[in-house]
Structure 1
Amino acid sequence: MAAAAPPHTDHKLGTPILDQPQLQAGGGTAAVTEKARTLDHISDNFSKYLKSAYDDVNKRYDLTTKEGLAKWLVTEQQASQDDVQFFKDGSFDDFIRYYMSGSASVMRPPPPLDDTYPISNYFISSSHNTYLTGNQLSSESSVDAYKNASVLLRGCRCVEVDVWDGEPPSSSSSEDEDETAAPKPKKEKKEKLGLRKRLELRFGRKGSPPPEDQSKPAAASSNQSPDQGADMRIEPWRSNVSTRAEPRVLHGYTLTKDITFRAVCATIRDYAFVTSDLPLIVSLEVHTCPEQQEIMVEIMREYWRGMLVDLPLDSSQNSEEIALPILRDLRKKILVKVKRAHKHPGAADAKPSTLQAPSGEPQRSSSVVSTSTSSSEELPDGTKKPPAPKAKISEALAKLGIYTGGYSFKSLDQPEAKIPTHIFSLSENTLMEVHETQPAALFKHNKHFFMRAYPKGLRLKSSNLNPSRFWRAGVQIVALNWQRWDGGMMQNEAMFAGTAGWVLKPEGYRSTSDEATQKTAIAHHNLDLSIEFLAGQDIPMPPEEDDPKDFKPYVKVELHVEKHEERNAQPIPGGGKSKGGEFKQKTETYRSQNPNFGGEIIKFEGIQGVTEELTFVRYVLSALSSSFSNCNR
């Protein structure tokens, strides 16, 4: 379960705090959505309003008759006639029972998913640094973050795994080594070290190549040829799992705690398709040496057998001409997103190799490719976070990126941008710059090819970017910090609520469209919106509040609408950093956990530039320093 924030600090970080976090959605259909949408009682305030509504409806439709009941359900509720099951005689008690069920929700179910388009034609519910349970600098890593507290049981379809070199398990029989080991720094001295020094103590040599004398094997096999010396640095595939070093998962160069890559793969295996049978993308951020990468491949093949896409669906296509498959053909499949080699001069003239099925036991490979990683970032104490080392991706690992092969982004014109299965990952700041300088090229790229946006490194408290701004640019994978319940996550839930985590883009955003820009790809309208508030029920008080008489809740309403600067590729005021809605209003404040809003009406009139599919209404129930949010499309 996500870690709770200490009182009086950050109530959004590590929430929602629930015994069953899978009750809370976040980016798709939660594991027990139906239970989460039901009520076990109705307050007196609500009962009065429902009685008034019942009298009005019964007068117009006569709910005591089958014909009148069916007409009301279909015409006014836009519900299925199956909801007749909640009514016995059309009485007020039946009416109450209906509204306590999930069937009476004001939210319409999403339309049936058309799964016949290539997979780049969908928005995908996505997570950033999935393994963390709190902030980006010092929180725990946990497999539960993949399972229920953060993502898989809440509908996420793209998870991130940062993988680093592991350490051999300690041996209880090595008493002599323990006695001769160098003493650890005393605690009081360690506390005096700066953050940078503490990070270097923990990570300074992780991922660095071993010294020359340690990189050579103790003995070579009799059938080894002299030119295979470099290849011998890779461990044998079937070494003893209990004694070998295995990769681990953590946020590198921070104080976050680690978990094993094996445990993460086991959790993904068990929970990947509990709430959705649509494909799961596992985004690997690799910082391991080639030897550890071979172990990564071994573990993924072992745990995801039958689910892992490790060969093209069409085996006759070569590696650089593979077409993206349609969504339907990848149900219950795991796709690996991992870096590939950049194309070098003359590579286009070379005949691409055809991917073949592995024969028997996986083969060790000395072929590696270099990939660049993120640059250094500033830490809270003003020092610079060391840049992550350049990982050399082994051929065996790179080949697993069948339909989601990553390349370092340089420009939209680089050779790799034409490979059908490529994917560029850009930070929010870089993407904003590209949108302002090359809006048409960016929109065209994202109609046909994958792109991923992720939060900038300085979001240490796991805050989120504004996802709708990037969806409107056609970005399919907008990775969010699910550890934090804020405006960004609210929009993510609004986009994917009730879905299986994949949402078909609006027609003008698809690869079949001739629309050239974001401005013309979708119809824009003027909006007049009126919202009436009746009552609230059982609103939980903030952690620091214990007297209901001092509890003063109110509701804030925000509209997340495309700005005209965004539509015209101009610099967005404030740099686009705000996650708040462009239009905001709030109700009066009431002193009660069961407030009676008395039919208070909030109006938004003459709002321009509204696109129905990509505009969101967010409701924030606030009281003192606490807030509880919901967001709708």
Structure 2
Amino acid sequence: MRGLLLRHGNPQPPSPTSVLPPDVDSLFCRFSWNGRMHASHFCKFLNEIQHEVNVSETHASELMKSFKDCLPGPQFTIKHFHTYLFDTQLNSPIHNQVHQDMSLPLSHYYIFTGHNSYLTGNQLNSKSSADAIIKALQRGIRAVELDLWPGSHGRIEVFHGRTLTSAVKFEVCLNAIKQNAFIKSQYPVIITLEDHLPEELQAKAAKIIKEVFGSHLYKPPLSHDQKAFPSPEELKNKIIISTKPPWKDSDEDSDNVDSPLTDEVGCNTSKEYMDIIAIRQGRKCKSLSDALRVEEHAKRVSLSEQKFSKIASSDPLSVVKFTKDNILRIYPRGSRIDSSNYDPMKAFLLGAQMVALNTQGHGKRLWVAQGFFKANGGCSYVKKPEFVVSGESASLFSLYNSKNSNLEVKQTLKVKVCMGCGWYEELGKHSFDKSSPPDLSAKVIRFSYLTGF
């Protein structure tokens, strides 16, 4: 019965007079005596049914006592037992605390990443707003993207270049990040800057960033020659700046096949600006294989979903090798003006850490990502499994990517939906009656090989 999760929120379970699912009633009868479940019964249930590890009778007793109206002994009635099953804190279907090793370099983790995080709607003519950034952070996004453009009177503005989207002030975006960065998670927030600024505005941008974030801003080593990135644990409550130091205007999220994948550091780049960039995009390359060449120093490379699909199909092992110590960011193709999303699991399978998602959009792929990042206590950093780090996953990519693969069934997962709650929260108590009962459906997508669920 582990994983009886309410739709959302924490509404009260049905009253004792309601008809209980037969499975709940059957389990209570099995692990109780004369209508009472004692600590010894509850301990046996936790070990045999819930598969809890090394649960003692003392622990079971303390857990039972946490219920306000628990009977002396302690003892559970079927009402208490039912309440326990629906308690999202005591009987959560996934770990609600960070439990993975967070001391490895950033490149060893998948990071919940946003794309054009300031947009409230489509990519063509929607409004740019700090509210969109706040909502993204509240959803758990740990990597926020801002497009920087020169505005009037020496201002720096954020908007989607060469479109009809409105602009929002750079300072407003930064303050929104500062105020909401560590509410959902204490682990670092990465700000990816797509920079179209002249040198004097780069210096101004650096000054504003330092003033807004203060001690929260991570200051990289002056040499910028780190062989590995710091760990999420080291970077708790830190803001990290990631961008390419440009010497000419170049759109990082460009779908021009002939455009460079990365830019060289230019001689006219502001020193103040350079000093705050903790995750640098690497040198200019003319080919995909050159861009993903493993070098002495750790770097980040950004690829469009088309370019990623091309290199992943032709040489998946090179992608896995690159992502062992470097960071790979995948962004949506330019034609996704409706803010739809690329399938993140394809990139995750080859170790890409940052799959930039249009969180202002909707759809299955965004929902999959949101579910994926509920792992590891919902901190939005999920450790890559060993079979991805080792390169074993490269051989599976073609199978995952093929729609017609006749894969051998290794394991069958059966899920029985006992009951549903939460209808009235969104639809109201008058939305259903005897002639229009709710349609109940459930779909299970298993990603335990990546998340550790």
TM-score (norm 2): 0.79
1:165 aligns with 2:138: no
The residue aligned with 1:200 is none
In structure 1, distance between residues paired with 2:329 and 2:171: 25
SS in 1 for 2:125: coil
Deviation per CA, 1:330-376, whole angstroms, max 9, x where unpaired? 111111111036xxxxxxxxxxxxxxxxxxxxxxxxxx466554447
The residue aligned with 2:401 is none
Deviation per CA, 1:258-281, whole angstroms, max 9, x where unpaired? 211001111111111122111111
Alpha-carbon offset, residue 520 of structure 1: 7.3
SS in 2 for 1:163: strand
Alpha-carbon offset, residue 288 of structure 1: 2.1
In structure 2, distance between residues paired with 1:518 and 1:72: 41
1:418 aligns with 2:290: no
The residue aligned with 1:505 is 384
Kept after mapping to 2: 8 A contact 1:444/1:516: no
Kept after mapping to 2: 8 A contact 1:43/1:537: no
Change in Cα spacing, 1:75 to 1:558, as seen in structure 2 (3 Å) is closer
In structure 2, distance between residues paired with 1:43 and 1:311: 57
The residue aligned with 2:20 is 49
In structure 1, distance between residues paired with 2:219 and 2:13: 51
Stretches of structure 1 lacking an aligned partner (at least 5 in a row):
1-32, 169-244, 342-367, 378-389, 561-610, 616-631
Kept after mapping to 2: 8 A contact 1:408/1:424: no
In structure 2, distance between residues paired with 1:119 and 1:376: 27
The alignment's C-alpha RMSD in Å is 3.4
Kept after mapping to 1: 8 A contact 2:7/2:421: no
In structure 2, distance between residues paired with 1:165 and 1:337: 19
The residue aligned with 2:42 is 69
One-letter identity of the residue aligned with 2:276: L
In structure 1, distance between residues paired with 2:379 and 2:200: 37
1:614 aligns with 2:450: yes
Kept after mapping to 2: 8 A contact 1:278/1:333: yes
Change in Cα spacing, 1:275 to 1:552, as seen in structure 2 (3 Å) is closer
One-letter identity of the residue aligned with 1:40: Q
SS in 2 for 1:329: coil
Alpha-carbon offset, residue 64 of structure 1: 2.7
Q: Which residue of 407, 410, 414 corresponds with 1:526?
A: 410
Q: Which residue of 149, 156, 161 corresponds with 2:141?
A: 156
Change in Cα spacing, 1:411 to 1:59, as seen in structure 2 (3 Å) is closer
Q: Which residue of 259, 263, 287 corresponds with 2:196?
A: 287
1:83 aligns with 2:92: no
In structure 2, distance between residues paired with 1:535 and 1:441: 47
Question: What does 1:356-505 correspond to in 2, within 5 Å?
Answer: 368=247, 371=250, 373-375=252-254, 393-405=269-281, 407=283, 410-414=287-291, 417-497=294-374, 498-505=377-384
1:266 aligns with 2:266: no
In structure 1, distance between residues paired with 2:411 and 2:225: 46
In structure 2, distance between residues paired with 1:257 and 1:34: 39
Higher strand share: 1
Deviation per CA, 1:221-257, whole angstroms, max 9, x where unpaired? xxxxxxxxxxxxxxxxxxxxxxxx3211111222222
Kept after mapping to 2: 8 A contact 1:250/1:257: yes
Alpha-carbon offset, residue 460 of structure 1: 1.1
Q: Which residue of 69, 78, 82 corresponds with 1:96?
A: 82
Question: What does 1:228-243 correspond to in 2, within 5 Å?
Answer: none
The residue aligned with 1:573 is none
Alpha-carbon offset, residue 43 of structure 1: 7.3
The residue aligned with 1:553 is 439
Alpha-carbon offset, residue 554 of structure 1: 4.2
Alpha-carbon offset, residue 297 of structure 1: 0.6
Question: What does 1:174-189 correspond to in 2, within 5 Å?
Answer: none
One-letter identity of the residue aligned with 2:151: G
Kept after mapping to 2: 8 A contact 1:276/1:500: yes
Change in Cα spacing, 1:539 to 1:419, as seen in structure 2 (3 Å) is farther
SS in 2 for 1:277: coil
Kept after mapping to 2: 8 A contact 1:338/1:400: no
Equivalences, count:
408
Deviation per CA, 1:474-512, whole angstroms, max 9, x where unpaired? 1001111111232112211222113211111001333xx
In structure 1, distance between residues paired with 2:253 and 2:30: 65
Stretches of structure 2 lacking an aligned partner (at least 5 in a row):
257-263, 398-407
1:333 aligns with 2:238: yes
Alpha-carbon offset, residue 298 of structure 1: 0.8
One-letter identity of the residue aligned with 1:338: T
Indicate the larger mover: 151-160 or 414-423: 414-423
1:323 aligns with 2:246: no
One-letter identity of the residue aligned with 2:224: S
SS in 2 for 1:96: helix
Alpha-carbon offset, residue 550 of structure 1: 5.6
1:298 aligns with 2:175: no
Change in Cα spacing, 1:487 to 1:44, as seen in structure 2 (3 Å) is farther
Kept after mapping to 1: 8 A contact 2:291/2:301: no
Indicate the larger mover: 413-422 or 446-455: 413-422
The residue aligned with 1:124 is 111
Kept after mapping to 1: 8 A contact 2:117/2:133: yes
Kept after mapping to 2: 8 A contact 1:338/1:398: no
In structure 1, distance between residues paired with 2:393 and 2:80: 51
Alpha-carbon offset, residue 419 of structure 1: 4.7
One-letter identity of the residue aligned with 1:67: S
The residue aligned with 2:120 is 133
Q: Which residue of 144, 148, 151 corresponds with 2:131?
A: 144
Alpha-carbon offset, residue 104 of structure 1: 2.9
SS in 1 for 2:421: coil
Change in Cα spacing, 1:449 to 1:275, as seen in structure 2 (3 Å) is same
Indicate the larger mover: 100-109 or 485-494: 100-109
Kept after mapping to 2: 8 A contact 1:402/1:421: no
* Identical positions, percent: 25
TM-score (norm 1): 0.58
Question: What does 1:23-42 correspond to in 2, within 5 Å?
Answer: 36-42=8-14
In structure 2, distance between residues paired with 1:253 and 1:289: 17
